Chains A and B, each alone.
Chain A
Amino acid sequence: MYEEDRKLVGRMLAGDQRAFDAFFCAYADRLAAFAARRSNLTADGIEDLVQNSLIKAIRNLATFRGEAALFTWLCEICRHELANVLRHGARKPAHESLDDDRSASEELLELRAPAEYEPPHELDLATHRGAIAKTLNSLPERYARALEWKYGDGFSVEEIARMLGVTTVAAQSLLARAREAFKAGWHREQTQ
């Protein structure tokens, strides 16, 4: 189903340096962003988490069958690693996974801003990120995931279509519906 991803993994297993380069360039930063959105780990913690996730993924490359998108598969590994870290009491999670089917609550939302922001702006940004995350949590998983891929990870519509296993037109349509649902959810959050 995910033939391109399967081919990339096949080339990596065959020792193709360019395949590894493409794999690392495509996913390392996105995996770090994925982890950062779901935790309040320090920069060192994120680095360790991403490194451990990638190493675990590479060790298990041969088990990747292309039944899900490679990024989805990597995110699952990263999610398990993150759960292990949190289970061992290393860090308290800042907010829950966007994929969790749970109602949002205030305690789940505390997001970090990049260092380049000055304190007042940082506070605004944290609040803004909290509001965005809270609204996303209230959406169906498919909508939230599509919006996160598009606006959080910078995937193109074509890439999202490939990862969802649908046509580009269907992905565009899904994103449009997701944006509408988000807008409605946003209004609900603002008026509460």
Chain B
Amino acid sequence: MTATPSDSSDREGPSERSLELGLRRHPLTDAARARIRAAAEAEWRTVARQRWTRSRWAGLAAGLAALALITVAWLRPSAEAAVVGSVIRVDAGTLETGSLPLLHGTLGPGNALRTGERVTAHGAALVALTTGGTLRIARGTVIRTLDTDEIELRNGQIYVDLPPTLPRELHFTVRTAIGSIEHVGTQFEVTTGARELRVRVREGQIRLRRPAGTETAEAGTELVVPQTGPIVRLPLKTFGRQWSWVEALAPDFAIENRRLADFLDWAARETGRRLEIADGHTREVADQTRLHGSIRGLTPMEAIDIVSSATSLRFELRNDAIRVSSGG
């Protein structure tokens, strides 16, 4: 075998430069390094937080501490593979899991999505989160589940719906190579690629953290976040065709024996519109009317059509509101 004649000193053995050329490697791109950092930092925060929590217990009596640890171990037999959520639906495709080549599996309705998994959505999917709320994943998206309340969006588009009824202390975080998004009781959509991150806030408020600082955004705002440079804020409609992929993945609402008022609340949230009840009488009718049947498989807009035709109330779909009145 002959080596590259990098310089004349190779006749006596390779020079230090030749050794460097032969041994040095730079396999990570900036984007890859940023992704690794986001995942490693998330893990580190979890470990540090757990350790801090544990240290508070250290002062207690050994018996109590042992009992607490046994209890925790019993309640969480596999902390490394906690359940992030349950797959409700996968439209026209599969959810492929596996962090290593040739070790892929698929997830379908009813399967648990666990921490530490890399998931590629070959079809649009709906996942009910263990923390409460739902995660909708667009076709072609790649995510990694870091914790029960933390996911990494590697590429593609997701929609997180965490109803305001969830505990305030819940901090769901979406990490990307460009920045991390934390919800403050909200619905939001995140899209990321190699160069740009887009966050569209449909309800509530989110907090975006990145090395350059922290930003917040309210409902009706779109943030365009480049890898470097200033963030662009754009006004955003919370309703309309741009949300159709999200509405197509809305979780089914079981209407049997539910109040019409509950259905209206659900339909308004899922279509990104305000609910306008015309008057007290209409409110009373909506509260007292019980629905029967099923709207399974229908989009929220289709469900509104069906339900409105079955009640005595009049539904008007305006741009940003659903107005319900007693008719006339």
A133 → chain B closest CB, angstroms: 7
A24 & B41 in contact (Cβ 8 Å cutoff): yes
| A-facing residues in B112-134 (Cβ within 8 Å) | 118
One digit per residue, 1 when the CB lies within 8 angstroms of any chain B CB and 0 when it does not, for chain A 17-40 equals 000100010001100110111000
- Mostly, the A contact residues are helix
B36 within 8 A of A: yes
Within the assembled complex, what's the spacing in Å between the Cα atoms of A43 and B28? 7
A79 within 8 A of B: no
Within the assembled complex, what's the spacing in Å between the Cα atoms of A2 and B137? 46
Residues of A within 8 A of B13 (CB): 182-184, 186-187
B34 → chain A closest CB, angstroms: 10
Within the assembled complex, what's the spacing in Å between the Cα atoms of A85 and B51? 30
Residues of A within 8 A of B35 (CB): 47, 51
A169 within 8 A of B: no
Q: Which residue of B lies closest to A45 (CB)?
A: B101
| Contacts across chains A and B counted by CB atoms under 8 Å | 148
| CB within 8 Å for A13 and B22 given contacts A125-B4, A183-B13 | no
B27 & A28 in contact (Cβ 8 Å cutoff): no
B60 within 8 A of A: no
Selected from A50, A52, A89, the residue in CB contact (under 8 A) with B99 is A52
Residues of B within 8 A of A89 (CB): 102
| B-facing residues in A40-85 (Cβ within 8 Å) | 43, 45-48, 50-52, 54-55, 58-59, 61-62, 84-85
One digit per residue, 1 when the CB lies within 8 angstroms of any chain B CB and 0 when it does not, for chain A 128-161 equals 1111111000000000000110011010000000
A190 within 8 A of B: yes
Residues of A within 8 A of B302 (CB): none
Q: Which of B42-50, B212-220, B238-246, B303-311 contacts A (4 or more CB under 8 A)?
A: B42-50
**Count of chain B residues with a beta carbon within 8 Å of a chain A beta carbon:** 44
A1 within 8 A of B: no
A37 → chain B closest CB, angstroms: 6
A101 within 8 A of B: no
B23 & A12 in contact (Cβ 8 Å cutoff): no
Selected from B21, B45, B49, the residue in CB contact (under 8 A) with A125 is B21
B102 & A90 in contact (Cβ 8 Å cutoff): yes
A32 & B25 in contact (Cβ 8 Å cutoff): yes
| A-facing residues in B12-56 (Cβ within 8 Å) | 12-14, 16, 18-29, 32-33, 35-37, 39-41, 43-45, 47-49, 51-52
Selected from A48, A54, A147, the residue in CB contact (under 8 A) with B23 is A147
Residues of B within 8 A of A147 (CB): 19, 23
A14 & B48 in contact (Cβ 8 Å cutoff): yes
Selected from B3, B25, B37, the residue in CB contact (under 8 A) with A37 is B25
Within the assembled complex, what's the spacing in Å between the Cα atoms of A45 and B4? 28
In which size bucket is the chain A interface? 35 or more
A4 within 8 A of B: no
Residues of A within 8 A of B20 (CB): 151-152
| CB within 8 Å for A152 and B51 given contacts A20-B44, A128-B18, A132-B18 | no
Q: Which residue of B lies closest to A27 (CB)?
A: B40
Selected from A47, A59, A134, A154, the residue in CB contact (under 8 A) with B28 is A47
Selected from B3, B32, B48, B80, the residue in CB contact (under 8 A) with A47 is B32
Selected from B21, B26, B43, B45, the residue in CB contact (under 8 A) with A29 is B26
Residues of A within 8 A of B19 (CB): 132, 147, 151, 182
A51 & B36 in contact (Cβ 8 Å cutoff): yes
Within the assembled complex, what's the spacing in Å between the Cα atoms of A130 and B12? 18
Residues of B within 8 A of A62 (CB): 47, 51
Instruction: A131-B1, A183-B13 are known; give 9 further A-B pairs, CB within 8 A.
Output: A29-B28, A32-B25, A59-B80, A61-B47, A88-B103, A131-B2, A151-B19, A152-B25, A182-B14
List 23 A–B pairs whose Cβ atoms lie within 8 Å, in order of A's numbering. A13-B51, A28-B28, A28-B33, A28-B36, A29-B28, A36-B27, A43-B32, A47-B28, A48-B118, A50-B28, A51-B35, A54-B36, A59-B43, A84-B100, A85-B101, A88-B102, A132-B14, A132-B23, A133-B22, A152-B25, A182-B13, A183-B12, A184-B13
Residues of B within 8 A of A (CB): 1-4, 6, 12-14, 16, 18-29, 32-33, 35-37, 39-41, 43-45, 47-49, 51-52, 80, 99-103, 118
